[in-house]
Amino acid sequence: MSFPKRREFDGGKYVEVEFGRGKKLVRNAEIGHLLTRPNRGIFVELIDRAAKLSGEQEKNGMKMEMVGRKIGSSGRSRYYYRMQLEDNIYFVKRTPTKELQDFGGGAGEITAMSEAGKLLEGISGVSVLEYHVGFEDNYETFLVSRWDDGLRENLEDYMGRIRLLPDKQAEYEYLIQKKDEIVRILRPHFYDVDTHNMAYDTKYNKIIIFDLIKKPAKDAN
């Protein structure tokens, strides 16, 4: 079998390149102009370097700030970063590949987010983060999107903070109703539909869904 192998899907919106030895790159076809070489590209180079950084550090002109951490089902940590390179700012999700593969996830998770966005079209106060690049090997998976300032506030944490505040009860009830609406629409099709995988933009009163894994057909209901 020769590598790299390339295929397009979702009407040509996404391009998948498989390199062998467990390495796979999935990208939105629209960002092809950002890729400097046919089999690696600038985003892969960035996330390779990101894997060597933690917390808030700066190296080789790239600034990394950890904005979240979550213990997954395997006991391994998922990390979320704000990554700045020159004038461009990105959101990076870093996850152990084995944990995602147990649920059918991986670099192709970017297409699941696109599908969720279509299901939620017309629902006010909700957006789904669009990942532009996914990269996986046998050890870790990285998903990269443009940064949104609303990603700094995790919805689960925010609701926990305002739950008992008298002047925030109307907002709290609104968020419960909005969360229940999201769960009703998405949970039949996706794993991990919960507030710890959502952010809340308090400036625009917008819930941002940033982490979903598509259910296989046998589990969808």
In DSSP notation, 68-118 reads: EEEE-TTSPEEEEEEEEETTEEEEEEEEEHHHHHTTT-STTHHHHHHHHHH
Q: Which two tokens stand for residue 148?
A: 């949104």
Give backbone dihedrals phi and psi of 185, rounded to 5 degrees, phi first: -80, -40
Spatial neighbors of 96 by CB under 8 A, at least 6 apart, are 72, 74, 76, 77, 78, 139, 140, 141
Distance of CA 13 to the CA centre of its chain: 17
- Residue-wise pLDDT tens digits, 22-76: 778 787 766 554 444 443 445 555 555 555 544 555 655 667 788 888 776 566 7
Is 64:57 a contact under the CB 8 Å cutoff? yes
Largest CA distance in the chain: 64
- Residue-wise pLDDT tens digits, 79-103: 888 888 777 788 888 887 776 666 5
Cα–Cα distance measured from residue 151 to residue 147, given in angstroms and rounded to the nearest whole number = 8
- Residue-wise pLDDT tens digits, 185-214: 999 999 889 999 999 999 999 999 998 888
Rg from Cα positions in the chain? 18
Q: Which two tokens stand for residue 92?
A: 């990076």
Q: Report all structural domains of the chain as residue ranges with CATH numbers, in order of start.
A: 5-214 (1.10.510)
* DSSP 8-state code for residue 62: E
